[in-house]
Structure 1
């Protein structure tokens, strides 16, 4: 368990760098993180959970997802007192490992039908060459990176959902969790 948490902690910065720099394009500089509007961090975390639930439903196989909550992070180089991003990292382990075969191809087809644009698909740069999919949803202002870890025991899917840049209303503070 400790090893798995360390592996997730080590991949988190890479996933963040990958996701916050791609897609969700407002017609600004390509390295800008798009705006997700004004919100409290609690409301934004609710949006992240809802987005993760929708993604979970697209898997359409029996299994168990980890019960992790969203987190708050700074939004690039913007004022950390006013701007934040929400991320939600979780994994899915199927009831039967054989059921994961083909699920990434299915997600690649299903995601666009639900407002997502697949912006990257193929083996990642890890030693295991895990199959990875990155998609953006401009309407929801979220990106997701899904990695199929076929060589894990048991095989699983790792999800990393990250928002665009939220701003808190004047007089409000960003809640950290």
Structure 2
């Protein structure tokens, strides 16, 4: 049983009827203030209120800049940024969202993959990104991977060079993610996926 629920039951013994039942329900579901944290406390920041399309445009622009910084020419997967669940505070996707943009570059000359990773190591810090990880994935393949955070906007990018895989074709996988945002009042975010 949830410890917060037990504590809530002890606190509401003096309450009667509906008030007591409501307090216990809120504690059990994590929706009440008893033993629960605010959105800001869970995230460590206050989510900015922003239109979903504006957030998508920002992430698409970041992806475009990252491609430029790679300094290589290849084929790209065709996908755009999309709104997704901010799991930490809104698993029902009602009010809060984050933007996720997975894409990849492939069809490069073999030596271009290494060059793209080297270019990113140089260009990301020049443009306000802090590299927080530069090593290998935790997978069996141990592919090279760079993770960086934009120190102003707090967007996160992860680039994985899948050179050690069963399929002989190498690929640069890129994932760009935003922080959680709060949709403007009246927005039906379920239509924005």
TM range (shorter): 0.7 to 0.9
3-state SS, counterpart of residue 192 of structure 2: coil
The residue aligned with 2:136 is: 123
Structure 1 residue 176, shift from structure 2 partner? 2.8
Q: Which structure shows the bigger proportion of residues in strand conformation? A: 1
Point out the structure with the larger helix share. Answer: 2
Structure whose alpha-carbon radius of gyration is higher = 2
| Counterpart among 66, 73, 82 of residue 71 in structure 1 | 82
Q: Is the 8 A contact 2:71 2:119 kept in 1?
A: no
Q: Give secondary structure in 2 for the equivalent of 1:91.
A: strand
Q: What TM-score does the superposition give when structure 1 sets the normalisation length?
A: 0.76
Q: Post-superposition, which runs of at least 4 consecutive aligned residues in structure 1 deviate over 3 A? A: 33-36
* Matched residue, 1:92: 105
Superposition RMSD on alpha carbons, in Å? Answer: 2.0
Higher RCO (CA < 8 A, seq sep 6+): 1
Q: Which digits, 9 at most, give the CA deviation of each residue in 1:78-117, with x for residues without a partner?
A: 2331110000000011431221124323311210001100
User: 1:176 aligns to what?
Assistant: 192
Unaligned runs of 5+ in 2: 1-39
Task: Give the distance between the partners of 2:45 and 2:176, measured in 1 at CA.
Answer: 15
Q: TM (normalized to structure 2)?
A: 0.70
Change in Cα spacing, 1:116 to 1:36, as seen in structure 2 (3 Å) is farther
Residues 82 and 170 (structure 1), Cα distance of their counterparts in 2 relative to 1, 3 Å cut: same
Unaligned 5+ segments in structure 1 are 1-27
